[in-house]
Chain A
Amino acid sequence: MGLKTPEQFLQELTDLHLNIYLMGQKVDDYVNHPIIRPSINSMAMTYELALQPEYADLMTATSHITGRTINRFTHIHQSREDLAKKVKMQRLLGQKTGSCFQRCVGMDAINALYSVTYETDKARGTDYHERFKKYLVYLQDNDLVADGAMTDPKGDRSLAPHEQADPDVFVHVVEKRADGIVVRGAKAHQTGACNSHEVIVMPTVAMRPEDADFAVSFSCPANAEGIYYIYGRQSCDTRKLEDNTLDVGNARFGGQEALMVFDDVFVPWENVYLCGETEFSGALVERFAGFHRQSYGGCKVGVGDVLIGASALAADYNGVPKASHIKDKLIEMTHLNETLFSCGLACSYEGVEMPAGNYQIDMLLANVCKQNVTRFPYEIARLAEDIAGGLMVTMPAAQDLADEKIGPIVEKYLAGQCDVPTIDRMRVLRLIENLTLGTAAVGYRTESMHGAGSPQAQRIMIARQSNMEHKKALAKELAGVGKPWDPPKAAAPGGGAGPDDGEKAKGDAE
């Protein structure tokens, strides 16, 4: 099996018969549910572009294990160029979907596990790495989507996993059998979970020996017995239930998150990649987070491209494209967006080859990248709203525009630049609303803040890697700290070394 078509992906997703709940009801036909379908279309785009020759350089790679052509989302990075192409691929997909396309979490999970399983085996004599490589070939050869599941609900944040009143707030092993383990718990905010063939679970925090039951990593089919999903609400999501494409802003694409519950799920040993080796839990968390923080330097930039374009169109349709303050705001948006891209590329081009043979991003720069992502999209969104104007949030509904009596009135009074149909002006304003306040704002704003770790998580990593002693040494050297002091000579009679005299001396020199 080589690269799959979007149609094959849709059929396979249908055949999984996932247990999905949405607004208190089980959804059997989730592939055609109007709230869920746009997020499926985004995922399908990762298949569609991989089949197009003009995007193959970014969307596909050569498996280092089999030598076969695979979707880059299942690839283990083999060079710094691979790391950079990952970021560029993500920008491309952000541009094409204007939303979160969800497949990055699995890619970041496999790349983190690849090196951590190798190092665990070296230290502990386990055989996780070979197990994982077999699983990896299965993902690559079948072009599967894997959900990288890390974030536990975490309960009381001041307590370690084993100290929680309810241990289920962290996924943990409840039983070890000869043929495998049984796990229980949940993973929160799972991007793309209801779009995945497979689930790859990782621990969410660094752990101590007492947390051994919680230091567990494994994979299983997304439809394994005991797994169910509670679909996350998004701002303005019920607009998708209305029979119109205008008011949703982006009718074709969207993102998704879900609460994923593991209700005593059995996992065979061949799919277990960490089980009790608590000292490797932290490394797995840091590496997955590092890769995912790199990801945001691509995906959010692509969505930013769409928002900047929509803002420029809004300015055109409002008749103010030549206003200097509008041009300046578009320049500022572009500057911020390209700065994020620069960070994504920088941490890629400064990546290193790990002992396992795969390439990993520069951790400091990846954290700097994500720290900027917690801020810049908000500023880009603010400027987009500034350019769009208040009509973005006060426009009448699509039903009003379609109404026989009111429609012409809406058409007349919402007209902007005279060559542009009112409907197109409304479409662009709704797209900006979608990205800044609607369903896509989940991905572009709040996910930029908390996805791949909240801002403080990056600041901790930045502090650890800031090499502050080197910076202090540089300053000491230039300031002469610790060197013998040669005090100025005593002032000669009639002269001195005070400020006035200094100025005089300077003037003399000139």
Chain B
Amino acid sequence: MSPVNTRARTLTKYPGTNNSTSLPTQGVVGVVRLGAVGEAVLNIVAANLQEILRLPVDILPPRQSPEFAYNERRKQYHAALILKNLAESLRPHPRILGLVSVDLFIPVLTHVFGEAQMGGRAAVVSLHRLKQKEEGSRVSLDTFYERVVKVALHEVAHTFDLVHCNQAECIMRISSGPSDLDELPLFFCEYCEAFLAEAYRRYDIQSLPL
């Protein structure tokens, strides 16, 4: 595994997580794919969450696409319904992250890249809008993986009560589009790092040693 807690962090492409097939579920974060989501992106997200959040991550058995959340009028999937379902149906991980390939929305917004329960258990990331540039052409696989990891980190951090950050160099900075997402670093600023550590203590969560 590459060195942890470095500012010049790059994407970890080699999973070092607890795979459900080899280890029992003992991690803090359970990552689950819902529907047509590739195994590679799942592994990369899990590995990077484990490394950057310093939390043990488990990969959970795949689930079906969340058709229950489909909204006929919007032709999109209601993110809040997926979060509710993840939080209620998957135990015992303190935090659950779902990966979906469908387009997500919340009632007040046209779309979201991801959504999370503030201080809750569940977060979800949609790969749907992360594969393309604004003008429609596809981005490289590396850029795609990096975007997914950034949204995943950002959303899971919300479940630890972290709010959007004004620091330019922070994963919690609000991004106003996919290309803006590319500008974000793959780490938390020192303030958000401190808030995260404080949240682990508050939620009685043991982080991995540095």
**A and B: interacting chains:** no
